[in-house]
Amino acid sequence: MDRTAIGELNEKVGSEVRVAGSVSVRRDHGKLIFFDLRDQSGTVQAVVTPKVDAHKVASEMRPEWAVRVGGVVNKRPDNMVNSEIPLGDIELEVKEIEVLGRAQELPFDTDAELNIDTHLDYLPLTLRTKKSRAIFKVQSEIAYAFRDSLKKCGFTEFQAPKIIGEDAEGGASVFEVEYFDNKANLAQSPQFYKQIMVGVFEKVFSVGSVFRAEKHKTTRHLNEYTSLDIEMGYIEDHTDVMKFTSGLMRVINEHLKETCKEEFELLGAEFPSIPEEIPYMKLREAQELIKAEFGEDGVGAPDLEPQHERMISEYAKNQFDSDFVFVTHFPTSKRPMYTYPDEEDPTYTKGFDLLFRGLEILTGSQRIHDYDQLVESMKKKGLVPEKFSFYLQAFKYGMPPHGGFGMGLERLTARFLGLDNVKEATLFPREINRIDTLLSE
Ligand code: AMO
C-alpha cells in the first residue's frame, strides 16, 4: 500500500492507510497507548489497543523513533475532539508498526523552553521542534519569494565565488585562508561579482554564504550569514533601487501571508505594515529627529547606534504606520569605495540602510560606474587600484549606471518573527567560539 501524507488523513476516514513519520510524544492510558506521529505534512494522534501485536513495539517506542504505521482512520468520539489543532477530530487506529529508526532517550522534553546555548548544543534535535520548524519554514519561504519575485522581474541568478583575493568591503572583518602557497580571503559579500555581472546580464541576484570575522558577540552579528544580493543596471540613482526594494518587501510579505499564517500564529508574530513606498530620511535628518523626539544627541556621528535605529523605527511606525524605514546619505568617508557620492554634497553618499522594526537588515547604494572616478575613489581610501585590476576591467570596458543591495536573510527572518537574537533565525550559527560544537570552554 502506498504511503499517505498525514496531512491528508482527514480525507481517508473509514479507510485503511499506511503512514510514516516520527513519534512526537507517547502517552499511556492504562493498556491503551497513544502517540503523536508527524511527517512533513502534519501530525496525527495514533492509538494502539492491547489486541494487536503492534502493542508490544508501541510500548517500547520513544519520542523521535521513525516508524511506518498501518491502520484505520477513525472519527474521534465527540468528547475527544480537539478543535484547536488540525486533524484534531480524527485518530489512527494502529494495526501494524514497523520501526525504521530507533532514537536514544532524549536529553530533554522537546517542548521545553530551552536557553539559546542548549538549543545550539543540540541543533540536530532542537531544529525538529515546532518552534524551530516554524522559523525555518518561514525562512525558506522568504528565500523562495525573493528568488521568485526577482526572476519574474527579469533578474538572472548567479553564484558568486566565496574564495576571493582582494575584498570589496574593506575593514578588518575578513577571514584569511591558506590557498596553496598563497593567502586568500573568504568573501564578505558578492559585491565585485554582482557588479561585474551587471555588465553581462543587466539585472542579477545571488543568494549565498558570506563571511565576517566579527570578534564581538552580539544579538545581531554572525560570522557566516546568507546574503540576499541584487544589482540592477540603467538606474537613474539610488532611489530607483529603494523603490524596487519597497516593492520586493511587500511581495515577500504577501507571500508569507499566503504560506506561513500558521507559523506566524504559532510564534506569536505579526505581519509587518509596509507602505507602497517605504519612508526615507537622510542620516543627518534622522539624527536631528532623534535629538528632538528622544533627547539623544548623536548629531554629526558617522552612523546610527543600535538604540538610534530602534528610535527611528519607532518614529516611522508612529508617524507613517511603517515597520520599515530607509536612512540615506551616510558619509562618503565611512562607506565602501564603490559607493556613489551625492553630486550636491560629495561628502555624503547615494547609499541607504533599511531598518526593519529597529534593526538594519539591508544596505544598498548607487555605485560608481565611471572607471576614472572609481580609481580615484580607491586612492582616496588608501587602496591600491592595481590590486583591483580584475574588478576594474568591468569599468574599463564600459558599465551602465547601476546599484543594488545586500540583505542578511537571518536578520530579515528574525525581524519578521520578532526574535530578539539573530542566532535563533540561523540554522547553524558560526560564532567566535562555536562551529557547531564549542571550540573552547
Ligand atoms: P553590509 O556590510 O552593510 O553591506 O551588509 C549588508 C547586510 O548584511 C547583513 N549583515 C550581517 N548579518 C549578520 N551578521 C553580520 N555580521 C552581518 N553583517 C552584515 C545586514 C546588512 O544590512 N556589499 C554591501 C551591500 C550592497 O551595497 O549591495 C554589504 O555587504 O543585514
The model's pLDDT over 189-200, given as tens digits with 9 standing for 90+, comes to 999 999 999 999
* Closest C-alpha to ligand 1, atom 18: 221
- pLDDT tens digits, 247-306: 999 999 999 999 999 999 999 999 999 999 999 999 999 999 999 999 999 999 999 999
Q: For position 441, what pLDDT does the model report?
A: 62
**Ligand 1: which atom is nearest the Cα of residue 168?**
23
Going from the N-terminus, what domains does the chain have, and what CATH number goes with each? 6-101 (2.40.50.140), 120-438 (3.30.930.10)
CA 414 to chain centre: 7
| Residue ranges in the chain modelled with pLDDT below 50 | none
Spacing, Cα 132 to ligand 1 middle (Å): 24
Enumerate residues 6+ apart whose C-beta is below 8 A from 92.
Answer: 9, 17, 19, 37, 44, 45, 46, 47, 69, 71, 72, 73, 74
Q: For position 378, what pLDDT does the model report?
A: 97
Spacing, Cα 380 to ligand 1 middle (Å): 23
- Residue appearing with cell numbers 545550539: 120
- Residue 89 is given by DSSP the state T
Q: Does the predicted TM-score (pTM) go above 0.85?
A: yes
**Ligand 1: which atom is nearest the Cα of residue 227?**
8
